[in-house]
A and B are shown apart, each in its own frame.
Chain A
């Protein structure tokens, strides 16, 4: 069983978001980067499947060299090897093309990633990869099990409920909680990760189809209006008559 897990390098979830003076790009100053939390669900589930059924887990990141500490972290958690496509990820289509190009060559049985990244929140890449490769994509899945060597059973969230889907391998799935319990790398993992292969490849030529021209932050709120807890019911009339949301 060959599993590919695609990870993004994203600002830590506690980060305050700032942009460069021209508002053209994200300001990385003082920001800690982590493996995208949703990708961690995918990564841990892939490792669990490998531990149960054998095979290999390859980690793939489309990004620049500063992503390597988090790629090593994925190796420390239990992935076998890693590939970094040496490129600035300009948009979802560009990233999907890079993943598809690697997958075409290596023929993975399962391609997993998070349902979206917490920075660009696109919810696009997994479906684009499925479409580019002509294989099914199941998203967003919160459960993934193998029925046998050729079929997987997934549960995915739909608005108002869930669906159970069985697909033949190969397929793409995106992960959301509680697909797995993310792991913290142990010392042995950290030591062995240093010697695991991390291959750097150049991107395939692809033009992005979108262009980010400006970033901005939401307007600050006007401040909170406090209500006496003794007269809590007053809140309801304020919500109706002042805020007009009831």
Chain B
């Protein structure tokens, strides 16, 4: 019996959220007195895989099939299910990404397993129970969920847990392949278009997010958000009205019906803090609110606040951020 972690690559490296999942998996393995194996698919460098040892992973099964460079749920499920069988894995760990949650859901059916997504804690295993805490109600609450099947599948919420200190040894990387048929690629993507990520940070993975609302008055003023984000190495985001007005693309909309994020630092500029917006960002560790209206409800949820005009305040922040020694 072992713990199996699925890790996702991006441009040859392993995504930060997958490193978190790997560390989580190794902690669960330690609790259960077993080892953690990772399974990786597609475009990931061998040395990045070996470095998973730093998260406590002892072995990596790597399927380099060219067809798997793009995400195809059915094919990924087959590979991970085969790896789970090979390792006799009873706990499977994913990142709560679009890919991780999708594959985890399908595996829950195929392996007759219990699945919890959006998980924020390591499992409690007293008295034969296996209980995790997950974020619910768009971050407004938590639920403790008992996973009752023999196979337990966990999708770990991004940025919910710290990645641990380096454990040392490199992980052993083994080639691995599952028998895949054409039918497994029936829903293969025809085309993949990546956003212009020149110098940018992916929003779902970001540790710092700078976000703008209607207080910025128009898309022509977005350079304030972008310049501050650039100075801090942050991703940019926006409120729902801003994406509805087409000032910014929908994939930047954070909130209850947009992307739910949990960065270390969330800076909201010109966003009053409707309850729906708050729901998508309130699990950020530190929230900064900049708004010229002292009555803006967002100040109640903030750790730091500035009542002032964004057009005067933000340039000062950019200047101070640029002066930081990185």
Give the secondary structure class of B's interface.
mixed
Instruction: Check A93/B115 contact, CB under 8 A, given A142-B250, A171-B187, A243-B304.
Output: yes
- Contact between chains at B303 and A246 (CB < 8 Å): no
Residue A14 contacts which of B139, B149, B276 (CB distance < 8 angstroms)? B276
- Contact between chains at A243 and B305 (CB < 8 Å): no
Which chain B residues in 108-138 approach chain A with CB under 8 Å? Answer: 108-110, 112-118, 131, 135-138
Residue of A nearest to B142 (CB): A216
Write the nearest CB–CB distance from B291 to chain A, whole angstroms: 11
- Contact between chains at A157 and B98 (CB < 8 Å): yes
- Contact between chains at B302 and A162 (CB < 8 Å): no
B202 within 8 A of partner (CB): yes
- Contact between chains at B186 and A167 (CB < 8 Å): yes
Which residues in A have their C-beta under 8 angstroms from that of B114? 209-210
Residue of B nearest to A142 (CB): B250
- Contact between chains at B320 and A119 (CB < 8 Å): no
Scan A20-40; emit 1 where CB is below 8 A from any B CB, else 0: 000000000000000001100
Instruction: Check A124/B117 contact, CB under 8 A, given A14-B276, A161-B192.
Output: yes
A128 within 8 A of partner (CB): yes
Which residues in B have their C-beta under 8 angstroms from that of A246? 208, 232, 265, 324
Give the secondary structure class of A's interface.
mixed
Interface size on B, residues (CB 8 A): 98
Task: Give me 17 A-to-B residue pairs in the complex whose CB atoms sit less than 8 angstroms apart, sorted by A's number.
Answer: A17-B141, A92-B105, A122-B118, A123-B117, A136-B74, A158-B98, A159-B10, A159-B205, A160-B195, A161-B192, A216-B142, A217-B142, A221-B303, A226-B304, A238-B304, A243-B303, A245-B286
List residues of B whose CB falls within 8 A of some A CB: 10, 15, 70-71, 73-74, 77, 96-99, 101-102, 104-106, 108-110, 112-118, 131, 135-149, 186-195, 197, 202, 204-205, 207-208, 232, 250-251, 253, 256-258, 260, 264-265, 275-276, 279, 282-283, 285-286, 288-289, 299-309, 312-314, 316-317, 319-321, 323-324
